Structure 1
Amino acid sequence: MDYYTLGIDLGTQSVRVLAVSVTGEVLGSGMQRLTSQKSGVRHEQNPEEWWQSVSHACRQAIKDLSPDALQAIAVDGTSGTILLVDQTGQPLTPGLMYDDGRAIEEAQRINEVGAEVWQQLGYSRMQASWALPKLLWLLHQQGSFTPGTRLAHQTDFINRRLVGHEVPSETSSALKTGYDLFHLNWPHHIFDLLAIPASILPSAVIPGQQIGTLSAQAAIQTGLPAGIPVIAGMTDGCAAQIGSGVTQIGDWNAVLGTTLVLKGVTRDLIHDPLGVVYSHRSPGNTWLPGGASSSGAGILTARFPGYNLDALNERAKQRGIVDIIAYPLSGRGERFPFVAPHAEYFIQGKPSDDIDLYVALLQGVAFVERLCFDYIALLGAPVDGEVHFTGGGTRSSYWNQLRTNVLARPVSLPASPEPALGMAILAASHGRQLASTAESMVRIRERIVPERGQKQRLAQLYIRFVDALEQRGWLAAHVAEYARKRTGL
């Protein structure tokens, strides 16, 4: 019998469920679309639709499998997505999604009151889209609430439906609600100043702990067997990191999509004076720092709309390195590896044609990525482990090689690096070591090594890139100097 675990990923556009064997083989999958209500900075979803979609996707995932072989379940959700529920777990509000930005005034108040605590927790300040400002906004909108009202993160809502009773939250989702990951409690003195009652806050556990078993009612709705252990999950970003196989200290996952995100593993909490790098707590008593740039593959859509990118990649490969510096920002403002609200796209040098520009933009993203690693190293994080590339950008083999050459270190491409896989791995690691479980379940499809003869020329271009950022006043002098020194030139 093929024993398996189930990973449930609550994404923005859909629910994705994977049934994964103990050796990492995907045995079954299910997917159900989600709808959003968006208007300006408002972004809401219907929590009941989350549950209906989870039920449908679970049935799809196990339709050809033996229910008796299922060993455990874990759920991830979007970071900062919350709602209020009543004492029976029924939603009192819509789900305010991870990027809902209405709580601007609440965020200002929270940062005034809790600045010292947020600094101690490593992220310095909260943003309007974080969960705590949204909780305060919801309470202001409600005016008053009945006894038994609770805050629920997205994962809390689904986990409660799975087990049939109130459940603790997990520290990964609770991070953006202000949970103290050092002392594993809520900073109630801050919540008192904000007039947020302690009774509204759930308890919390570290991801990977069992929080209940599947109820008989949930078994009927999902098609899963009653009594299966339900394991506390994580946010979708952390889930994807586990799915990429990045679980050892010093390892990093570079996710290249519309934007570039770095997530890694450290022994200690990393403190970032800019507040752009913040850390989750891992099941293995380690920390998971990460930062998200505003740069990334989105620049290609902005600068080459309607183009055949596969054809451009082939021509770019033939062209090779170009002596043009481009800062690959499709919008305005940068947030990592530096904070510059007024930063914008620029180019130094004159491209002779579209291919020159295309290569310059690919190089620019790779230079941003290297600068992210330099900044993280400057903060004291180990960066000497494995690097795994994931995200839509990995579809370009040319770009994968270019990024590897710029970093001047070997890189691996996982086969199925998605959040649902990460949750299946977390579920399978209950009672075991997460790192060893991930090692046995994550499959690597390709390993890339730097090409010879590229290192010095790319390092020289990278130094020019760093110089250009410093000259514009976006990159601090000490960061620029550190980045230049790390090239060895």
Structure 2
Amino acid sequence: MGTEHTSTSDLWAGVDVGTQSLRVLLADDHGVVVGRGAGRLDSHRSGPVHEQDPEQWWQVLGQASREALANAEWTHPQPARLVRGLAICGTSGTFLLASDTAAPAKPLTPALMYDDGRAADDWTGPGQPSWPRAKLAWLAEHGSAPVRAGLTAGRVRLEHCPDFLAARLVGHPVATDWSHALKTGYDPAGQAWPAMSPVPSGVLPDVVRPGTLLGRIDAYGAAHTGFAAGTPVRAGMTDGCAAQIAAGALTLGSWNAVLGTTLVLKGVTEHRLNDPAGAVYSHRHPDHGWLPGGASSVGAGTLALRFPGANRARRDAAAARFEPAGGIVYPLTGRGERFPFVRPDAEAFEAGAFVDDDERYAATLQAVAYVEKLAYAHMRRIGARIDGPHYITGGGTRSRYWCQLRADVLGHELVLPANAEPAFGMAVLAAAGDDPLVTAAGRMIRPGTVVAPRPGATARFTHAYANFLDALVERDWIDAALADYAKNIPLVVTNGGVA
């Protein structure tokens, strides 16, 4: 893991609760990772229902925390005593209902996951039917008798995943952060909960700035995790925001594109963006300004669907012969598109002819890059600056060819961060605490690897990108005005000149 540390530098703990695993990371005050622990999480799916067991979160948190401390490359005999703070991130929109009387809190429902769709047929309110506000209304009508009674009487408490774990650690209910609260219906501009009939306001937690002290680990939490009693627990952010912190995309005009199963774009603006199309939503920056973002339904997940068992390295080498490909694809991972345009009825398509599957593979890689370029155009069109650093993270960055292709298509240098783990982002947030996040980030985040556009490559894809946009216009997925804007957006100046 690296050279053993002999100093008594402060340590900071970050926890990332994902769909398949929970990870704990320890980093020193200079951003050096000194310990890691992880454990598997199980999900339960049935039709539109997607749930997890909150008690498993707690059990795995204990195991992973002890593993991280045991593996810490530190000569101090008790590294737990050097941990000065901890913060937790979770999947955006995952929550449960807990008793407001038991200590520690007793879950009254399973955790309803971020993509649970049980409310889809009933919800007509604001936001998406998979968001907590919709599912809270569903529980008020269709939940078990104790849940319905508790909601009516205000005797239950909504807790997002990090809230539940933080409360267990400190021994009392905690506030949530304004990042996890966003999809539950919290207004980050007015900094208030709206009326949510038929749910009483007492069901909803107080909301605080990320980094705020929530409490200190008590004896029970210390015995379970191995962290020292008295360790501060601070409010976190969602996993997407945590990855953005880890990448270092925290200053005006900077962006982080996460290419995982799907493509997620998050950036920084001075003012909250107004997107008439409804594709963009904005978290509030812990320091100042906003963190706008959107999630497309194209991404690396489409490769497993379209090319199962493919040798990616061989395919990448073959794809380089088709720049650009002769045909067009829109490689959705399922039905519907969310960003950079909203079309619930959208379905994957192909147009034109391909000589073989290698060219089809090349067209798929290029299509994801075209969607990314259109996303930046959409962001710029509604008022965002896109001239800052562009960071790229996610599993898709394991393909260095794809990273180069994206830089070529975008005409912009891309930066592969030194450490893009959401748990690392939470360690940085814990280190910042009440102070500016950018200060801790400047101290802890190390420079990444720059991928520059190849000379002349951006122009090589210009005509194919225009054809791609025209295909979207023909299907009425985007309007001609957006397509024209995206075709004519000024090229970005990089260190190598104008791409």
Per the normalisation by structure 1, the TM-score is: 0.93
1:108-148 deviation digits (Å, cap 9, x = unpaired): 1xx1xxxxxxxxxxxxx311110111112222213312663
For residue 429 of structure 1, report the CA deviation from its aligned partner.
0.9
Residues 1:458 and 1:320: Cα distance change in structure 2 (over 3 Å): closer
The residue type paired with residue 178 of structure 1 is: G
Q: Is 1:82–1:135's contact at 8 Å kept on the other side of the alignment?
A: no
The residue type paired with residue 7 of structure 1 is: G
Task: Give the stretch that moved more between structures: 344-353 or 29-38.
Answer: 344-353
For residue 445 of structure 1, report the CA deviation from its aligned partner.
4.0
The residue type paired with residue 295 of structure 2 is: A
1:317-350 deviation digits (Å, cap 9, x = unpaired): 3554334332222433222111223323333332
Structure 2 counterpart of 1:128: 129
The residue type paired with residue 140 of structure 2 is: L
Structure 1 residues 219-258: aligned runs within 5 Å:
219-258=222-261
Task: Give the stretch that moved more between structures: 339-348 or 249-258.
Answer: 339-348
The CA RMSD over aligned residues, in Å, is 1.7
| Counterparts of 2:137 and 2:248, CA distance in 1 | 36
| Counterparts of 1:487 and 1:286, CA distance in 2 | 25
SS at match of 2:329: strand
Deviating runs (4+, > 4 A) in structure 1? none
| Counterparts of 1:27 and 1:301, CA distance in 2 | 34
Structure 2 counterpart of 1:260: 263
Structure 2 counterpart of 1:91: 107
Q: Which structure has the highest helix share of the two?
A: 1
* Number of residue pairs the alignment of both structures matches: 470
* Residue 394 (str. 1) matches residue 407 (str. 2): no
Give identity over the alignment, percent. Answer: 48
1:416-437 deviation digits (Å, cap 9, x = unpaired): 2111111001001114321232
* Residue 70 (str. 1) matches residue 72 (str. 2): no
Q: Is 1:107–1:126's contact at 8 Å kept on the other side of the alignment?
A: no
For residue 269 of structure 1, report the CA deviation from its aligned partner.
0.8
- 2:156 is matched with which residue: 115, 130, 149? 149
Task: Give the stretch that moved more between structures: 317-326 or 405-414.
Answer: 317-326
* Residue 290 (str. 1) matches residue 322 (str. 2): no
Q: Is 1:327–1:361's contact at 8 Å kept on the other side of the alignment?
A: yes
Task: Give the stretch that moved more between structures: 342-351 or 357-366.
Answer: 342-351
Q: Is 2:305–2:333's contact at 8 Å kept on the other side of the alignment?
A: yes
* Residue 311 (str. 1) matches residue 311 (str. 2): no
Q: Is 2:88–2:236's contact at 8 Å kept on the other side of the alignment?
A: yes
Structure 1 counterpart of 2:119: 103
Structure 2 counterpart of 1:82: 95
Q: Is 1:459–1:487's contact at 8 Å kept on the other side of the alignment?
A: no
SS at match of 1:483: helix
Structure 2 counterpart of 1:440: 443
| Counterparts of 1:319 and 1:275, CA distance in 2 | 35
Structure 1 counterpart of 2:167: 160
| Counterparts of 2:290 and 2:441, CA distance in 1 | 16
- 1:333 is matched with which residue: 333, 336, 360? 336
Q: Is 1:215–1:226's contact at 8 Å kept on the other side of the alignment?
A: yes
1:193-248 deviation digits (Å, cap 9, x = unpaired): x2211121111101111111111211111100011111100111111111111111
1:240-269 deviation digits (Å, cap 9, x = unpaired): 111111111111111111211101111111
Structure 1 residues 403-418: aligned runs within 5 Å:
403-418=406-421
SS at match of 2:407: helix
The answer for unaligned runs of 5 or more in structure 1 is: 112-124
The answer for unaligned runs of 5 or more in structure 2 is: 1-7, 73-78, 492-498
Q: Is 2:326–2:353's contact at 8 Å kept on the other side of the alignment?
A: no
Structure 1 counterpart of 2:351: 348
For residue 64 of structure 1, report the CA deviation from its aligned partner.
4.1
| Counterparts of 1:389 and 1:289, CA distance in 2 | 16
* Residue 179 (str. 1) matches residue 186 (str. 2): yes
Per the normalisation by structure 2, the TM-score is: 0.91
Q: Is 1:106–1:136's contact at 8 Å kept on the other side of the alignment?
A: no
Structure 2 counterpart of 1:43: 50
Task: Give the stretch that moved more between structures: 134-143 or 203-212.
Answer: 134-143
For residue 33 of structure 1, report the CA deviation from its aligned partner.
0.9
1:33-54 deviation digits (Å, cap 9, x = unpaired): 1112210111111111111111
| Counterparts of 2:68 and 2:174, CA distance in 1 | 25
SS at match of 1:56: helix
Structure 1 counterpart of 2:200: 197
